[in-house]
Chains A and B, each alone.
Chain A
Amino acid sequence: MTDNTPTVSGSEASEAPRSAMARFLDSDLLHSFLSSKVTVLAAFTTVVLMLAALFAPLVAPFNPFDLAQISIMDARIPPIGMEWSDPRYLLGTDDQGRDLLSGILYGMRISLAVGFLSVAFAAVLGISLGLISGYVGGRTDAIIMRIAEVQLTFPAILLALLIDGIANGIFGNIDRETWAIWILTFSIGLSFWVQYARTVRGSTLVEKNKEYVQAARVIGIPAWIIMIRHVLPNVLGPVLVIATINLALAIITEATLSFLGVGVPSTQPSLGTLIRIGNDFLFSGEWWIAIFPGLALAILVLAVNLLGDWLRDALNPKLR
């Protein structure tokens, strides 16, 4: 399995004198990527959106978080092309007079930041527990996996809501503007670790009986080094797939939590917060407040999901 997968594996690295770049250009992975137009488009969209979000302060016409810049008198201006529109506001404004385009760019920043951070948190937690569980086995394995199974019986969103509620209860009336993102990251990350743990544990169980691990054990290398240096690189392939798909899920979860009003505060809206605000104006004909952030969210999640799907197929030897 390790030989024909393009992940960085210990054995492969030692026998290949070619540069990493050359190997990449020649790989099945790149070929498979370029041959799928949908994937190229998805990757392009993802990169553009991420860059736009990352450089939002440079790209966006306004800073929607700076309350001194927004005026309530500019509230609910329709997008360009409609009656009463204002050339300063391409996609119109929301109920507080914030430019929607800027709001979407800054909001996507929060959505992506929470997405990446929570995926990283979930991955680190899940991989560690999965490695320990698979490698150590026995009672440790049983305990970790039973916790994981119990957690799997709850929908992730419910768990995220629960953790978010408890965290907000504990931290009470602290400054939400600063802490909301971290609380969200923590609660989403904590509700997504199980998949990583189960996958890594499965792969670890396979790897730990292979000769190279046995050999390492025989020459007396400590267990934790074997786990990190020898087993981990060989189980990362599936993790990459899960992480990509989970990024989309985490963004959706953040949007859902914010839509429900327990996410980021409305003075610093993420995409979900913007949709929640816009939702109140759908009946009165001010559709753009909800529709544009909704579209942005849909496009972002779709693009990331398509990438994840492709990655899953490309890394799965059975599908080739």
Chain B
Amino acid sequence: MRLKIASAALAMTLAAGTQVNAETLKFAFQGTYNQLDPYSLNETFTMAMHGNVYEGLVRRTADLQIEPALAESWEVIEPTRWRFHLRKGVKFHNGNDFNADDVVFSANRVRAEGSDLTTRIAADVKVEKVDDYTVDFVLTGVNPILHSEWSTWYIMDKEWTEANNAVKVTSASDTNPNYASLNTNGTGPFKIATHEPGVKTTFTVNDGWWDQKVHNLTGVEFTPIGSDATRVAALLSGELDMAFPIPVQDIKRVDSNAGTSALTGPELRTIFLGFDQKRDELTYSNIKGKNPFKDVRVRKAFYQAIDVDAIKAKIMRGLSEPAALMISPFLFANSGDFSRYPYDPAAAKALLAEAGYADGFEVGMDCPNDRYVNDEAICQATAAFLARVGIKVNLNAQPKAKYFAKILASGGFDTSFYMLGWTPGSFDSYNVLLNLNNCRDDKGAGGPFNLGGYCNPRVDELTKMVLSENDEEKRNSMISEAYTILNNEVSHIPLHQQGLAWGVSDKVTLKQRADNEFHFKFVVKN
């Protein structure tokens, strides 16, 4: 009997062993995967991870084109009424049927308090169930790009969410996560098997997935590895099948190593700096009673004090493209009309003196240290550049979990000067204008990621016009006007578009998306 058990156990370990070796994809990212609630954090990596488990009504192909997902088709039956025909026979991981009730429920939940994705559907949009597999979205104005960001608006199961008492969204700064933050129930190609935030997440395959699968995986293992060197070492040693981002200094090494190669390309993300322009007194500064960032001269001085070409040459080793706009030039036709203010510390000093800060001042800066390529190094260099014009920067670089909880709406926009990166989910300027540049209230309504609270009514007006304009040329000239205002008023300091750099083992083929989203469903492992 004992022998039998032993041999059975042996057989089982053998079976499990071969299975793991065969087609488990092991990969690492620089930051952690924390809350599983798909509406907690509007951040590319987190959303992409959710996207392996959850699905939206639409999805993006590897070339970023919109294609049907949970909605089979849609039509604009009146200019302000969109009808979505839902896919039949789709089941959530727990076996529940997907239907119109889930869509209506998710549409309300994504706009509810605590959600970081409130702009996915405007508050005044009515969502009506026509029948079990048809849903209408009734708008108050024309919006030709209504569904452009819905590839990351994931549909949740109404019954499951309600049964587990998780209707309220856990916000990014909430320390008391609910059931949906720790468990998932999507319709996607993978299921989460185990999840230890900050340590490891494992995925298994959803055999009941409605779509034809391309991948040959049996499981996925994700580990966050914050240290660049450790992440690269793990890839080089064959412990990982994929790791990203590969630090710019190690791309050559990963490429020349037998068994690995580096996939590089321009990323659509724009890295920029922002200022608190809303508070009457900065939270982190030695200037009391007034806010120096309300003065455009101070903002422009900061802009001209920073040498982005030096950052490109020395920190990014050539793998970044200095940006004049808050959007990638690939995503806006007229971007050639814009150029950066030149690097000119003398002019910066003169501007500061003119604004009454000849001796400079102190300001606290918030920066992530595990989110963007060389984020902390860029912030340190920024501090050094600003020191030369008399600004003392007190740098607070933190892991993204703490960083986002502090600076985003859920943390009360608790920052005076910060770094952020942004890829418009719709790949269109409207998203950039609305999210980053429209006036907002203290809770973030209006421009939820306009952390500094920049406000110009004309920009808001143009944003609304851009939304409903169908003529490409007119639309582009409106966008140009808005960007010109932003540039003149230095709403932010656009720094650069960083390069994509994924390290991939030769055993694996995959598709690299220009928005840096990694989807397991394209992975084939030999």
Q: Which residues on A are within 8 Å of B, measured CB to CB?
A: 66-68, 70-73, 75-76, 95-97, 173, 175-177, 261, 265-267, 279-284, 286
Interface pair B253/A267, CB less than 8 Å apart: no
Contacts of B388 in A (CB 8 A): 67-68
A284 contacts which of B249, B380, B384, B387 (Cβ < 8 Å)?
B249
Residue of B nearest to A259 (CB): B227
Q: Which residues of A are found within 8 Å of B385, using beta-carbon distances?
A: 72
Tell me the number of A-to-B contacts counted with CB atoms below 8 Å: 78
CB within 8 Å for A177 and B394 given contacts A67-B384, A284-B249 = yes
Secondary structure dominating the interface of A: loop
In angstroms, Cα B495 to Cα A4, docked, is 71
CA distance A66 to B247 in the complex (A): 27
CB < 8 Å: which of B310, B364, B369 contacts A261? B369
Q: In the complex, what residues of B have CB within 8 A of residue A97's CB?
A: 314, 384
Q: In the complex, what distance in Å separates the CA atom of A240 from the CA atom of B229?
A: 40
- Give the residue name and chain of the B residue nearest to A74 (CB): B314
Docked-complex contact B384 and A70, CB < 8 angstroms: yes
Contact B384 A173 (CB under 8 A): no
Residue pair A280, B394 in contact (C-beta under 8 Å): no
Choose among B233, B250, B393 the residue with the greatest number of A CB atoms under 10 Å from its CB: B250
Query: Which one, A70, A73, A175, A280, contacts B228 given CB within 8 A?
Result: A280
Inside 8 A of A73's CB, which chain B residues have their CB?
310, 313-314
A76: B residues at CB distance < 8 A: 314
Whether A279 touches B227, Cβ cut-off 8 Å, given contacts A72-B314, A75-B314, A284-B252, is: yes
- Check: B469 CB closer than 8 A to any chain A CB: no
Give the CA-CA distance A187 to B240 in the complex, in Å. 36
Which of these, B229, B253, B395, B396, contacts A280 with CB under 8 Å? B229
B315 at the binding interface (Cβ < 8 Å): yes
Given A96-B384, A283-B229 in contact, is the A176-B376 Cβ separation under 8 Å?
Answer: no
Q: Quick one: which of B385-412 are within 8 Å of A by CB?
A: 385-388, 393-397, 406
Residue B465, interface by CB 8 Å: no
Known: A75-B315, A95-B315. A286 touches B249 (CB 8 A): yes
Tell me which of B227, B236, B284, B384 has the highest count of chain A C-beta atoms within 10 A of its own C-beta. Answer: B384
Checking A71, A280, A286 against B384 with a beta-carbon cut-off of 8 angstroms, the contacting residue is: A71
Chain B residues whose CB sits within 8 angstroms of the CB of A266 once the complex forms: 376, 380, 395, 397
Distance, CA A136 to CA B376, complexed state (A): 53
A72 and B310 form a contact (CB under 8 A): yes
Question: Is B100 part of the contact surface with A, judged by Cβ < 8 Å?
Answer: no
The answer for the CA separation of A176 and B395 in the assembled complex, in Å, is: 8
B383 within 8 A of A: yes
Is B381 at the interface (CB under 8 A from chain A)? yes
B371 to chain A minimum Cβ distance, whole angstroms, is 14
Q: Kindly state the separation between the CA atoms of A281 and B394 in the bound complex, as whole angstroms.
A: 25
Q: How distant is the Cα of A267 from the Cα of B406 in the complex, in angstroms?
A: 21
Residue of B at shortest CB range from A282? Answer: B229
